[in-house]
Structure 1
Amino acid sequence: MKSLSVILLSVTSLLLGACDEPAINQSEPIRAVKLFDVSQNAGGNERTFSGKIIAANTANLSFPLAGTVKSISVNIGDKIEKGQTLATLDPVPFELDVEAAEAELGKARSAAAEKEEDFKRNKQLFEKGWVSKAALEQAQYALETALGEVNFKTTRLNQAKRARADAVLTAPYQGVVAEKFAEPNEEVGGGKQILSLDAEGALEVSISVPENVISNLNMGMVATAKFGALPGETVRGRVTEISRVAGAGNVFPVKVSLIEPPSALRAGMSGEILLVTQNAPGEHGFLIPLTAISASENLKDSFVYIFDPASQTLSRRPVIPETVRGNLIAVKGVDAGDLVVSAGVSFLSDGQKVKRITTVAN
């Protein structure tokens, strides 16, 4: 602890001169700060898992009704826009159904009009005492039956129009065509998959975690991803799905969502995910840069600045220093996923609005 005190006192001595400076003028330009993504548990173990990129959202598209495929206007890998026509069925049978339904509805409306005139006539005659009440009731029943037939035929027409519209397959969102399962002139049944569409932008990496490690993973824990398509580069991610049911080989499916994935990445690419597992989250604290921590001379008021991406402001948070590891220090008081300011903390204040320069991955 003595060596830790010396290091912190050295850092603090460089910052004391800032104490006499005037308060920050809010009219000054917004200061840019360098950030560090807290992820590595001081008592954790690094584990690497192989995985494959998948789209965060995938839609399997099909026609709800059977028919003959007339056209498929896209190919695998094509980028498509929301609402774009992707495929069509032969429209002739559906057009004929609409025409037949319209004709039946026309007949039903004509019959209902006749029954309505008959009812009006019988009502007038009944009021004059020229027909019986039973005759009037019979005419009323006939009218109600005819109106019910109109409603039924109207429903049939709406169903035929809906089927005609369903013969055109459109994109539910912007994305990329992942797979193609049918060709023009092919007879397909209702519900048979025609295309698979991956949403553009959002990507995940699917990995398998052994049963002796799965209990050490937590939702939201930070991950580092590496891909052959990006030599020498890393991509940040977070664990967003942990299965409760083991698959083949007693491994558990886990998904890691990539944060701001580069455009070079595609679904189907292989990569590696680095996770820092821990037996007791936060028990040993988390590692942050030495330059991120400020402390008073007696080391009783150590703190860091946490960046809030939503409000673009800083909050001052007390921390408890533990041990130093090179340029990093283990502290208690921060959580995985926190963004701490890693440099220039002597020029900052609680609640200050700032902008980020970059996020430093550990």
Structure 2
Amino acid sequence: MSHIMTIESFDGQVVKDIIEASRRGRNAMTIITKQTIQFALYSGLVLIVIGLLSACNPKQAPATPPPRTVKVIQIKAAHDGQHQYASGRIQAAEQANLSFEISGKIRTLELALGERVKKGQRLARLDAQALELNVEVEKSNLKTAQIERNDASRQYQRLAALFAQKLTSASAVDEAEARLERATAQLSRHQASLAKAQRQLAKASLYAPFSGLITKQLVEQSEVVMAGQPIAAMANPQSQIEVKTWVPSRIHDHLSMGDTATVSLSLIEQSVRANVTQIGMEANQLGLFPVIAQLIEPPASFHPGMSVSLQWDLPSLHSRPVVPLTAIELLDKNHARVFVVEHPDANKTRLKARIIKVGALRETEVEVLSGLAVDEWVVAKGVNLLREHQEVYTAGAHLARYNH
């Protein structure tokens, strides 16, 4: 007979003992108390056994996901070669944007698009009633000052002659001399004021700085314009033809005055040589520098305003490492993060994050100014899904070495 009893069988035995005790007249509470004590002891024993079994079989930690497989590439230098290209626009060497030096409302506009004008010809005039009135006022003031100065001069000469004959006092002569000095100073001030008023009035008229053609008309008559606001542009078609372009620093830093470029007009498949005549030293917002090259014997088909391409034959350029745009996580406009693989030949390795300084953008790459060297290996893409010291499998390194 087994001595092991389950909880269910134990509860059934208690009920049977209570019924039997009732038939025999025994105290049922005595039976319940004894059985309860036995049940408590049995339950405690069960809990102890469960605890020991749990201690012998601890929970296993969740399985670590397998390392990710990443594609890696080797950093190479950008070999630009000798040919450097840029786009530009043909323009006349003698050209100008026309604007007033003062603000005002245009009274007359004496120009038209394509009109041929001569040097010194008036092209536009502002409403100058206030300026004209100011000139008249200054002329009147000057006339009054001139009369006062002449009268003071005559008085001084008369008193000086009387003083020589001892017919007047020295104080009278001194007073006349002081009056003459004041009148002379006043006359000089009014002369300067009149000259200033006349210069301002002259600024209300706009004249052609050279003979040429009106190439742009930017305003209409009766418009209000600000000082320095272009109202038209003109060029001298008889002057030399040149090309203006904007180049990045990798070209700008290696250009010199007199360097030769080949200028091509793609629409008619013509090209001509040009010599660099101006190299700007201040970059625009895109980091490009202005360069002007004068065309050598331009054909008749080259006209101002046409777009052209330029090619320079530079002897040598300093090449920098480049990295694909997919391999960087841009932090700001000058810095990015890459993941370097120090042992690309190993089956499994850990990543190392590195901050690099980036330079000029290319089509699908960016120049590396510092932080990364040629021949180092980096993760090619998916860098936003990676973390520092992450364990990965590498793909691409063995294939790259095989192709070499």
Cα distance change on mapping 1:263 and 1:83 into 2, 3 Å: farther
1:27-38 → structure 2 map (5 Å cutoff): none
Partner residue, 1:79:
116
1:134 equivalent in alignment to 2:142: no
Q: Structure 2 residue aligned with 1:220, among 258, 276, 289?
A: 258
Cα–Cα, structure 1 residues 50 and 92, in superposed 2: closer, same or farther, change >3 Å?
same
Gaps of 5+ in 1: 1-43, 281-362
Could you report, residue by residue, the CA deviation over 1:50-85 in whole angstroms, capped at 9, with x for unpaired residues? 222234344233222333211122233333322222
Give the whole-Å Cα distance in 1 for the aligned partners of 2:134 and 2:164.
45
Structure 2 counterpart of 1:154, from 166, 172, 191: 191
User: For the structure 1 residues 74 and 265, does the alpha-carbon distance in structure 2 shift closer, same or farther, using more than 3 Å as the test?
Assistant: farther
**Counterpart in 1 of 2:205?**
168
The AA in structure 2 aligned to 1:221 is: D
Partners of 1:216 and 1:278 within 8 A in 2: no
After TM superposition, give the deviation of residue 228 of structure 1 in Å. Answer: 4.4
Matched, 1:207 2:207: no
Greater relative contact order, per chain length (Cα 8 Å cut-off, separation 6+): 1
| AA partner of residue 223 (structure 1) | A
> How far apart are residue 172 of structure 1 and its match?
1.0
Matches within 5 A, 1:102-121: 102-121=139-158
8 Å CA contact 1:217–1:278 kept in 2: the answer is: no
What do you get for the CA RMSD once the two structures are aligned? 2.8
Shift of 1:244: 4.5
> How big is each residue's C-alpha offset from its partner over 1:204-223, in whole Å with a ceiling of 9 and x where there is no partner?
22334444444554432222
Contact 1:209 1:252 in 2 (8 A): yes
1:62 paired with 2:99, answer yes
TM-score (norm: length of structure 2): 0.51
Preserved contact between residue 84 and residue 251 of structure 2 (Cα < 8 Å): no
Alpha-carbon distance, 1:137 to partner: 0.2
The structure number with the bigger radius of gyration is 2
Deviation for aligned residue 1:247: 4.6
Quick one: which amino acid aligns to residue 256 of structure 1? A
245 and 107 in structure 1: CA distance in 2 versus 1, 3 angstrom threshold: closer
Task: Read off the aligned partner of 1:167 and give its amino acid letter.
Answer: A
Name the SS for the 1:49 alignment partner.
strand
For residue 146 of structure 1, report the CA deviation from its aligned partner.
Answer: 1.0
CA contact (8 A) 1:115 1:146 kept: yes
Residue 36 (structure 1) aligns with: none
Q: 1:246 to 1:142 in 2, by over 3 A?
A: closer
Select the structure that is richer in helix: 2
Query: Aligned match of 1:278 in 309, 315, 327?
Result: 315
Q: Kindly, what percent of the aligned residue pairs are identical?
A: 32
Distance, in Å, in 2 between the alignment partners of 1:202 and 1:64 is 28
Query: Match of 1:147, SS?
Result: helix
Which deviates more, 269-278 or 171-180?
A: 171-180
